[in-house]
Structure 1
Amino acid sequence: MLTKYLNKSGYTVFISDNRGHGASIDAKYNHGYIDGVEKVVDDNIAITNCLNEYFPEKEVYMIGHSLGTVFARIFLENSDYKINKLVLSGPPNFIEIVPLAIFIGNIANLYFVEHKTLKILEKLYTGKKLTTIGYHITKKKYKK
């Protein structure tokens, strides 16, 4: 929807999926797997360099959404001069139970191959509904 709007407004849009997201999912980078923030930021720097090289007369705007806002902010640390504008949409904020999610992910990595996607975790980061597990969290109390 945003792409169509930008095209109608005269913008050319280049979209890239971060490793382990969207069309970048494959055997090495399955749902949500990222083997280093630096690699994702380096990917974005390489893409931006190509855009600037092939379209030197065009301004480059970057849009980062959700986790992409984190990568975009790191991108700015050393490469802010490579883009003309930045839009951040839905940046993550502090959520009290994130340490629990990180702990569960680390435990899962101890017992499973690092690149294996657990079904429950896949559903959490793809937005699919959890049909077999129906727990919700209320102020440090778990209800079924």
Structure 2
Amino acid sequence: MNKVAYEQKEKDVLKLPYSTRYQALKQEKIRLKKIEIAVPVGYQDKIKKRLQPNKCFVESIKFARDVKEAIYCIGQFQKSEFFHAWIEFKDQDYCFDGTFQAFYPKEKYYEYRGLKKLYTRSSAEITELANKYEMHGLYPEDRQKLKSLLVSSSS
């Protein structure tokens, strides 16, 4: 999908009422409950009690900034081609989804969500970007990287 088509698809989704998007997210959370694992020791105080709709980048960045062993991942849903961010951990077979505020076995998470990992950043890299831009979200460097990936995949 090229950049223009991606941006149009994103706008179309965001036109849906928030309640519709939230209900869809709740249904996805229920579906993922089958593979959810207990919060690993040491991360209990990092988890929020509510879903964080449309905040996968923000929540993943906050988590990575606070947890040195976190690996910030950016990927793409294979069905919708939307971008997504989540957290993985070096030498661990689980990951954290900031939208759902839950941990999952990495392999099953990829399968259930239909994800393809595009690239990663270390906790130190993401902290540096967060400090540089004084915000959490998709940074210009990430936008540029994703743009180049979109261009190369449509060629």
TM-score band by shorter chain is under 0.3
Q: How does the TM-score come out when normalised to structure 1?
A: 0.27
**Of Structure 1 and Structure 2, which has the larger fraction of its residues in strand?**
2
Q: How does the TM-score come out when normalised to structure 2?
A: 0.26
Higher relative contact order (CA 8 A, sep 6+): 2
